Amino acid sequence: MTAPALDVRGLRFAYPDGTVALEGVDLTVAPGERVAVLGPNGAGKSTLVLHLNGIHLAQHGSVAVGGRPVGKATLAAVRRAVGIVFQDPDDQLFMPSVRDDVGFGPAHAGVRGESLEQRVRVALGAVGMGDHLEAAPHHLSFGQRRRVAIATVLAMDPEVLVLDEPTANLDPAARRELLAVLASLDLATVVVTHDLPFALESCARSVVLDAGRIVADGPTVDLLADAEALAAHRLYLPRGFDPRLAGPTVG
């Protein structure tokens, strides 16, 4: 049987001041599956993300990526397998050109010459930015920088893509472009977001994380249709938005 792309079991994590951020989290994501992680501020979403590629290591419980336990001995392989795109693309874009930014990771991993050029072109093509190889990232729009940041991760040929608040500061056109990018990718994807309509549009399945625990897991349309349960975890849909009428657009 194929191992899950992500397999989190009984994950518990407390910060040095004693604050418990995660308490017994279980989450399995299949290869190619897209899952949204929803929850209010302080729910533990960012802490969970930092465990998925070993930035934090489990204090209790376990995290596995493609069957590999996440630990000190596997960190290099895990970080190649799990690509995280953080909320601010400028945290990931620091080179003079788009080509240099997207090629930085593979080059650091030893990819050279035509193989490196191919990695860069394929990654930029996947996010619709193939015509911007020589552009300076700071001259791009915010939405374009977001897509280039995704390309920097795709160039590493990951097994899992993690997007942290991917629609933050995007205008409607850039948001639609991002949805198109997600629809074209065939890899396990975790979308951490406060944007409930985007979760519906991008992910057939969602989980709700609150106070460090997974409190709901199921079809996104069903979770979002229960306004009372959402409100209990400080989650709210835009006024007048009916998830059963909107329906998923990516799957």
> What percent of the chain is modeled with pLDDT above 90?
92
What pLDDT score does 250 carry?
Answer: 58
Q: Which residue has the higher pLDDT, 120 or 246?
A: 120
Angle between helices 142-154 and 98-108 (to 10 degrees): 20
Average pLDDT, the chain: 93
Domains of the chain by range and CATH? 6-246 (3.40.50.300)
Q: How distant, in Å, are the alpha carbons of 125, 186, 216 from that of 116?
A: 14, 21, 42
Q: Name the band, by pLDDT with cuts 50, 70 and 90, for residue 249.
A: low
Q: What is the pTM of this model?
A: 0.92
Is 80 exceeded by the pLDDT of residue 123? yes
Average pLDDT score over residue span 48-67: 95
What pLDDT score does 241 carry?
Answer: 87
Q: Name the band, by pLDDT with cuts 50, 70 and 90, for residue 247.
A: low
Is 90 exceeded by the pLDDT of residue 35? yes
Q: Name the band, by pLDDT with cuts 50, 70 and 90, for residue 111.
A: very high
Q: Per-residue pLDDT tens for 188-200?
A: 999 999 899 999 9
What pLDDT score does 2 carry?
Answer: 83
Q: Per-residue pLDDT tens for 157-185?
A: 999 999 999 999 999 999 999 999 999 99
Q: Name the band, by pLDDT with cuts 50, 70 and 90, for residue 82.
A: very high
